[in-house]
């Protein structure tokens, strides 16, 4: 987990960055037309200001350039009063992604916008919100305390439960998303709708941030937004000012991550070895085999059966000895990832707070998800694995392409993380 010193650093980094659709009640029908066909910017009337949003009912945001996507949003006083908070759903036909949005404590009218997602795949972004970089932390099922290291000290911040099925997100008929590419389209459309409706944000810098599997999410989400800008310009819609990506303890390339598990256990120059000499020697002998098998089956070609077998071999060879240790902090002894609440009791408090009826009513949680919050959704992770999303595309190339196009990148890490360590 991120230490307070890391969070303070990122808050200071954020400080440098300060450098025809309709809004209608959710009960009304939404007119939709084919994307970019017959779109007349003169007919577009944005909602304009967040202060116009209700505290009791959702306002629906739509845009003719995105006929499959809309959003519901309301003011939500659930956290504390140091910043105005909003919540709602991104609606993609029968799929619905839950989000939180917090205005900047410093200057919401001029500060940049940050999008945050946790990883997994299948981890709720409420973990980032309430454990790390959000404006408050739960202290009981009914109370919170202010987080002085929140990123909304210097930025307006989104937290999105994605893909569908994660956190308070839901699907009407069992629809699912099983790849990062699919998820990216939804995020890109939502960002365009938000910036177009709330005109005071137009031109502000947008920074996409995430941790863990966010190392694969964020580069692809950013690329989708960047590529869609050309379509927005053609449609007469203001393009999004994509400024940077920020990845914390991210896993971008499993081809280098698997071998790094040997380094993190046996050859980290900054931290004592956590395994004995004999076990480290056995593991080191398996590193070249892991690298070669992964390269042959997952890089040079992507064969679903062989790649899954190679990944399974690498995972067992490199991580089997570590499975009962703390995957997120080698310096903090406790059980492994399967018992994370033993390592981080605040996760229980988050669950109690978000499963509280009063909290869910304030957030506007859909009735199908009430009383049903979980910080992780294993089914989502399994779907991504089944589609080889972990191994099927080079996320590091997306980062390189973004850098070549002037989008900056910040990579920050915790020194003793294991599961997405810094070593390679």
**pLDDT tens figures, 126-168:** 999 999 999 999 999 889 999 999 999 999 999 999 999 999 9
**Report for 10-14, 21-25, 189-193: range of highest mean pLDDT:** 189-193
The CA–CA distances, whole Å, from 338 to 89, 251, 423 equal 29, 19, 24
**Lowest mean per-residue pLDDT among 6-10, 175-179, 187-191:** 6-10
| In the predicted structure, residue 77 carries a pLDDT above the cut 80 | yes
Number of H helices, E strands in the chain: 12, 13
- Give 240-268 pLDDT, tens digit per residue: 999 999 999 999 999 999 999 999 999 99
Q: What is the pLDDT of residue 424?
A: 83
* SS3 (DSSP) at 15: helix
Better-predicted residue by pLDDT, 20 or 92: 92
Q: What is the pLDDT of residue 45?
A: 65
For the segment 55-65, the average pLDDT, to the nearest whole number, is: 85
| Tokens, residue 276 | 């004995």
Considering the domain 4-255+395-412 in this protein, what is its CATH number?
A: 3.40.50.1820
Distance, C-alpha 343 to centroid of its chain = 22
- Give 309-333 pLDDT, tens digit per residue: 999 999 999 999 998 888 899 988 8
> What's the pTM value of the predicted model, to 2 decimals?
0.88
Phi-psi region of 411 (alpha: psi -120 to 50; beta: other; left: phi over 0): beta
Residues 6+ apart with CB under 8 A from 29: none
Length of the chain: 424
57, 74 in Cβ contact below 8 A?
Answer: yes
Q: What is the pLDDT of residue 337?
A: 60
Nearest to 63 by CA among 242, 228, 244: 228
Buried b / exposed e along 310-338 (16+ C-beta atoms within 10 A): bbebbeebbbebbeebbbbbbeeebebbe
Q: What is the pLDDT of residue 298?
A: 93
Q: What is the pLDDT of residue 65?
A: 75
| Tokens, residue 57 | 């009912």
Q: Whole-angstrom Cα distance, residue 311 to residue 306?
A: 9
Query: Where in 118-175 does DSSP place strands (E)?
Result: 136-138, 144-146, 156-161, 170-171
Q: Tell me the pLDDT band of 7, cut-offs 50, 70 and 90.
A: very low
Q: What is the pLDDT of residue 336?
A: 60
Identify the H or E element spanning 102.
Answer: strand 95-102
The CA–CA distances, whole Å, from 90 to 72, 144, 194 equal 7, 26, 10
| Tokens, residue 165 | 């099925």
| Tokens, residue 33 | 């037309």
Q: Whole-angstrom Cα distance, residue 23 to residue 88?
A: 14
Residue extents of the structural domains in the chain: 4-255+395-412, 257-386
The shares of helix, strand and coil residues in the chain, as percent rounded to the nearest 5, are 40, 15, 40
Phi-psi region of 268 (alpha: psi -120 to 50; beta: other; left: phi over 0): beta
- Give 87-123 pLDDT, tens digit per residue: 999 999 899 999 999 999 999 999 999 999 999 999 9
For the segment 1-15, the average pLDDT, to the nearest whole number, is: 43
For the segment 325-349, the average pLDDT, to the nearest whole number, is: 82
84, 73 in Cβ contact below 8 A?
Answer: no
| In the predicted structure, residue 338 carries a pLDDT above the cut 90 | no
- Give 32-55 pLDDT, tens digit per residue: 222 333 344 444 566 667 888 888
């Amino acid at each position: 987990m991120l230490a307070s010193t890391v969070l303070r650093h990122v808050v200071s980094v954020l400080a440098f960055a300060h450098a025809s659709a309709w809004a209608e009640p959710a009960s009304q029908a939404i007119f939709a037309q084919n994307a970019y066909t017959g779109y007349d910017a003169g007919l577009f009337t944005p909602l304009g200001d967040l202060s116009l949003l209700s505290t009791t009912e959702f306002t629906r945001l739509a845009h003719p350039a995105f006929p499959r996507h809309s959003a519901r949003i309301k003011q939500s006083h659930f956290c504390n009063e140091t910043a105005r908070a909003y919540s709602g759903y991104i609606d993609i036909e029968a799929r619905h992604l839950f989000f939180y949005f917090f205005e900047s404590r410093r200057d919401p009218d001029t500060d940049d916008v940050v999008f945050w997602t946790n990883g997994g795949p299948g981890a709720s972004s409420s973990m980032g919100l309430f454990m790390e970089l959000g404006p408050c932390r739960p202290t009981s099922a009914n109370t919170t305390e202010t987080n002085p290291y929140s990123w909304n000290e210097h930025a307006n911040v989104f937290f999105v439960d994605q893909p569908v099925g994660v956190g308070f997100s839901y699907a009407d008929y069992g629809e699912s998303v099983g790849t990062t590419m699919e998820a990216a389209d939804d995020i890109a459309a939502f960002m365009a709708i938000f910036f177009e409706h709330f005109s005071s944000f137009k031109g502000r810098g947008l920074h996409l941030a995430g941790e863990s599997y966010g190392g694969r999410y964020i580069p692809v989400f950013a690329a989708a937004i960047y590529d869609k800008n050309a379509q927005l310009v053609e449609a007469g819609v203001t393009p999004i000012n994509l400024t940077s990506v920020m990845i914390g303890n991210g896993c971008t390339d499993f081809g280098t991550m698997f071998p790094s598990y040997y380094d993190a256990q046996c050859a980290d120059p900054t931290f004592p070895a956590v395994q004995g000499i004999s076990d480290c020697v056995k593991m080191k002998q398996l590193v070249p085999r892991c690298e070669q098998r992964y390269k042959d089956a997952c890089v040079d070609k992507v064969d679903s059966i062989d790649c899954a077998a190679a990944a399974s071999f690498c995972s067992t060879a490199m991580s089997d000895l570590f499975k009962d240790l703390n995957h997120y902090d080698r310096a903090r002894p406790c059980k492994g990832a399967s018992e994370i609440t033993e390592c981080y009791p605040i996760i229980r408090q988050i669950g109690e707070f978000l499963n509280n009826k009063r909290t869910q009513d304030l957030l506007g949680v859909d009735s199908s998800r009430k009383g049903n919050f979980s910080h992780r959704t294993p089914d989502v992770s399994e779907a991504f694995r089944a589609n080889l999303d972990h191994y099927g595309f080079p996320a590091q190339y997306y980062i390189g392409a973004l850098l070549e196009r002037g989008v900056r990148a910040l990579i920050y890490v915790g020194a003793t993380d294991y599961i997405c360590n810094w070593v390679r």
